[in-house]
């Protein structure tokens, strides 16, 4: 299929997108939001979190930056960087979702089978095992999944499920969105944190006003 200019970007645009995803925590947070977004009609909040330009094209650029964090192929650099097709983006999302779901539920998840070339190198007299461009031979979706697997390996903050009361939900229903947690970060958004604290203080007040039998 002929590629339209929309389907490729230049190396500068890719570098800009990469600059938004500098540390592993930001990259994993991006992947977690991406896995849960409604790609056909993303919410404003998802667009804000997923795309520098706040549109679906921007999400595709960021997905490319996420995937080829360590560099694209030399041929791509000459010809322009190809973005994921809509189908590839959707398949990537499904695989991310399945992996994260399994990981959150069982603290272990299958990432898949990959052909990678390993190389041992020496830095300051110490040997290190590195992956030698192997992942670059993979199709785009596999490359993205491989990148997610590496991140889950290297990242230490826990993945969590947001337990804030669900917006307009029944008693006991929770938000359920996934997030990259921290000791002080247990809700997926400020909105959820506010809802949780308001609900909590209301409950406290109600308990205070209950008649006591003492």
The beta-carbon contacts of 174-179 under 8 Å, at least 24 apart in sequence, are 177/36, 178/32, 178/35, 178/36, 178/100, 178/104, 179/29, 179/32
Q: Which of 175, 178, 195, 196 binds Zn ion (CB under 5 A)?
A: 175
- Of the candidates 133, 186, 131, 139, the residue with the CA atom closest to the CA atom of residue 158: 186
Residue whose CB is less far from Zn ion, 71 or 169: 169
CB of 193 to Zn ion, least distance (A): 8
- Range list of H helices, 37-181: 44-50, 56-67, 74-79, 86-106, 140-154
How many residues touch Zn ion (CB under 5 A)? Answer: 6
CB of 194 to Zn ion, least distance (A): 11
Q: Is 85 helix (H, G, I), strand (E, B) or coil?
A: coil
In sequence order, the β-bridge partners of residue 161 are: 178
57 scored as a contact of Zn ion (CB under 5 A): no
Structure tokens belonging to residue 82: 């190809």
The beta-carbon contacts of 133-140 under 8 Å, at least 24 apart in sequence, are 136/68, 136/71, 136/72, 136/73, 138/114, 140/67, 140/84, 140/88, 140/92
180 scored as a contact of Zn ion (CB under 5 A): no
CB of 176 to Zn ion, least distance (A): 7
Residue whose CB is less far from Zn ion, 83 or 180: 180
192 scored as a contact of Zn ion (CB under 5 A): yes
162 scored as a contact of Zn ion (CB under 5 A): yes
Q: Which of 63, 100, 144, 188 binds Zn ion (CB under 5 A)?
A: 188
CB of 190 to Zn ion, least distance (A): 10
17 scored as a contact of Zn ion (CB under 5 A): no
Q: Which of 164, 178, 180, 195 binds Zn ion (CB under 5 A)?
A: 164
- Interface ranges with Zn ion (CB under 5 A): 162, 164, 175, 177, 188, 192
């Amino acid at each position: 299929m002929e590629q339209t200019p929309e389907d490729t970007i230049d190396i500068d645009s890719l570098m800009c997108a990469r600059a938004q995803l500098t540390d592993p925590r930001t990259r994993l947070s991006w992947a977690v939001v991406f896995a849960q977004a409604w790609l056909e009609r993303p919410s404003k909040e998802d667009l804000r979190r997923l795309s520098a330009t706040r549109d679906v094209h921007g999400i595709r650029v960021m997905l490319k930056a996420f995937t080829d964090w360590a560099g694209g192929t030399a041929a791509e650099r000459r010809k322009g960087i190809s973005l994921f097709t809509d189908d590839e983006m959707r398949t990537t999302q499904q695989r991310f979702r399945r992996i994260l779901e399994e990981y959150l539920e069982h603290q272990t998840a299958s990432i898949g089978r990959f052909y990678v070339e390993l190389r041992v190198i020496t830095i300051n007299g110490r040997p290190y095992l590195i992956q030698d461009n192997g992942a670059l031979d993979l199709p785009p979706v596999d490359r993205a999944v491989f990148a997610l697997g590496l991140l889950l390996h290297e990242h230490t903050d826990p993945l969590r499920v947001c337990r804030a009361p669900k917006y307009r939900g029944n008693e006991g229903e929770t938000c359920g969105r996934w997030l990259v947690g921290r000791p002080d970060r247990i809700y997926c958004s400020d909105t959820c944190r506010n809802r949780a604290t308001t609900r909590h203080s209301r409950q406290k007040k109600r308990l205070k006003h209950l008649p006591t039998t003492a």
